[in-house]
A and B are shown apart, each in its own frame.
Chain A
Amino acid sequence: MPITLKNVNYTYNSNTPLAHIALTDVNLTIKDNKVTALIGHTGSGKSTLLQLFDGLLKPTTGEVRVNNYVLTSQTKNKGLKSLRKEVGIVFQSPENQLFAETVLKDVMFGPQNFGYSDEEAESAAKKWLKKVGISEELFNRSPFDLSGGQMRRVAIAGVLAYEPKILCLDEPAAGLDPSGKEEILSIFRDYQQQGHGVILVSHDMNDVANFADEVVVMDKGKVAKQDNIHNIFSDPSWLQKHHLNEPESISFSLKLRQRGLNISPAINVKNLADEIIKNRGAINE
C-alpha cells in the first residue's frame, strides 16, 4: 500500500494575513513494507507531510494517494476514519495524549473507535501493551501514575493496538534514554518485518542510519532527495548544504580514511566494526 503524492502544496491559514507556506510542489512515492525516514531541518515540512498521509491536513493543491484513498483539497472529513485506521500516527511526545482512567482503557480507545468489539479491543490492547514492555500489573493503574518512558510506551501501544498498515512516527525516541530508545526502535523494526510500512521522522541521523531503508530529505518545504541510506549519507558536504549531519560512524570512518586506511564510509557501528576488522592488517602495520 504505497503512498503517492502528486504536485502537493500546503499552506497554513491560507487566505489570511497569517498564511504560511509549508510544502511546495511535493512529488513523492513511499514504498510499503519498508522503513522510510523523513529527515530535514526544523521547519522543512516533515510533520506537515505526516499529517497529510492520514487526512488530518488536506493538500491545498495536488493530491495524496494512500491505497484507494485519494485526498485533495475537496475531500470531505466523512469517510476518513477508515483511512485513519490504516495509517496510524505516533505524534511527538505522544504521552501528552493519554486521558483514560486506566492504562488498558487508554490503549483500547483507538480500537474501539475503529469498530472493534470491547473484547477484541481488550485483547488487542493487552497484546500490544505486553509487546511494548508494560507489565500486567500496570494495566489497571492510571496512566498518570507512570514514568515518562512508560507513558510513552502506553501511548505507542495505543496506536499499534489497531495495527495500522502504515505506521508514521514523529520523533518516537526523542527524550528517551539510550536503552529505551533501542528497545522502542526494535519494536518498530519488528512491526515493519511483519509486513507493515513504517515512516519515521527523526533528527537523529544515527537512528536513521540504524533503522531506515530509504530516506527522504526535505528542505524548505521541498523534497531535496529520495534514495537509500547508503547513497544519502555518502556525501557529507551535500548533507551539510541541507543543514544535516552524517551519522557518527560515517564521520569516524572518514577520519580513518584521512589517516590512510582504506575504509568505505560505514553507515552504522556494526558496519564500521566490520570495516575496521577487514583493515586489521593495515592497522597493525
Chain B
Amino acid sequence: MSKIIIGRYIPGNSIIYKMDPRGKILASFLFIAIIFLANNWITYSILTIFTLLAVIATGLKPKNFWDGVKPFIWIIFFTALLQLFFSSGGKIYWHWGIFTLSSYGLITSIYLFIRFVVIILISTVLTVTTTSLQIADGLEWILTPLKYLKVPVAEIALVMSIALRFVPTLMDETVKIANAQRARGADFNDGSLIQRAKAVIPILIPLFTNSLTVALDLATAMESRGYQENHVRSRYRVLKWSKYDWLNLGYFLLLTLLLMVFRTK
C-alpha cells in the first residue's frame, strides 16, 4: 500500500515545483491528447526524450518513478503481448493457430509499451511535484467556465479540498481500527475469499460511522465559523502564473509542433 507512488507528493525543490498547478494539469491533459499524434519511430523517440527530460527536471531519484511504473507493469506487458501476438501484417515471422508474430505486431507492441510508460511517467511527474491541495485549486480554476452551465464549481472545489484533507486522516483511522480488531483476534489474511471479505466488516462499519461523525462535526464547526452555502467567499490560496509556467506550456507546445511535423500521414 505505502509503495504506490501515484497520487503521493514528494517534497522537493526543483523548477517543476515552482510551476503553477493549472499549467501542470493543462500540460498533462495536452500530453495525453497529443500522444496519439505519434505514429512512427521519430515521433516516438521525440515523445520519449521530452518525457525523460521532464522526469529529470523534477530532480527526484529515478527510483521514485520506477515505483510509479511498477504497479502497472503487468498490465502493460499483458497488453503489449496481446498486441504482439494478435496483429498481423508486414513480414510474418511465426505463425501458429491464432497466434501470429509479425513485424507489424512487433512495432505496434513496442509503441504501445512506450505510450503506456510515458503516460504513467508524466502523471507521476504531476502528482509527485504537486500537493493535493494545489491540484484541487488548479482543477477549480480549470472548471470555472462550467459556472455558466450552472455547475456549482465553488462547492465542488470545497468538496475536493475537504476530501483530500481527509484522505490521510481516514488512512490513519483505518490502520488504527484494523489494529484494534487484530488485537481482538480478527484475521485479515487467512481463510477463503468469502471469509476474508467478511473479515473486512469490523473495519468498514466503524470507518463509515466515524466518517459520518466527523462530517457532522466538521459541518457544525464550519457553520459556527460563519460558513454559509451559496455565499461568495474570498480566497486565501491564490495561484500565480509565472515565467516558469510559460516555459512549461511552451515546452509541451513545442512537443506538439514537433510531433505534427514528424508524423507520417
Q: Which residues of A contact B (CB under 8 A)?
A: 13, 16-18, 51, 54, 56, 77, 81, 84-85, 88-89, 91, 94, 96-99, 109-110, 112-114, 144, 158-159, 162
Contact = CB atoms under 8 A, between A and B. Distances in A.
B166 to A, nearest CB: 15
A16 B206 contact: no
Given A113-B185, A144-B209, A99 B202 contact: yes
Contacts, number: 61
A91 B176 contact: yes
A85 B183 CA distance: 8
Nearest to A113: B185
B2 A13 contact: yes
Contacts of A54: 183
B228 interface: no
B201 A91 contact: no
A158 B185 CA distance: 11
Contacts of A113: 184-187
Nearest to B205: A99
Given A99-B201, A110-B185, A56 B209 contact: no
Interface of B: 2, 10, 173, 176-177, 179-187, 189, 201-203, 205-206, 209-210
B190 to A, nearest CB: 8
B181 A97 contact: yes
Given A13-B2, A17-B10, A144-B209, A97 B185 contact: no
Contact of A85 (B185, B189, B205): B185
A160 to B, nearest CB: 11
Nearest to A57: B179
B200 to A, nearest CB: 11
Contacts of A158: 184
A98 to B, nearest CB: 7
User: Which of A85, A99, A162 has the most chain B CB within a 10 Å cutoff?
Assistant: A99
User: Which of A18, A88, A96, A162 has the most chain B CB within a 10 Å cutoff?
Assistant: A96
B189 to A, nearest CB: 7
B16 to A, nearest CB: 17
Q: 7 closest pairs, A vs B, by CB?
A: A113-B185, A99-B205, A97-B180, A110-B184, A89-B183, A99-B202, A91-B180
A256 to B, nearest CB: 43
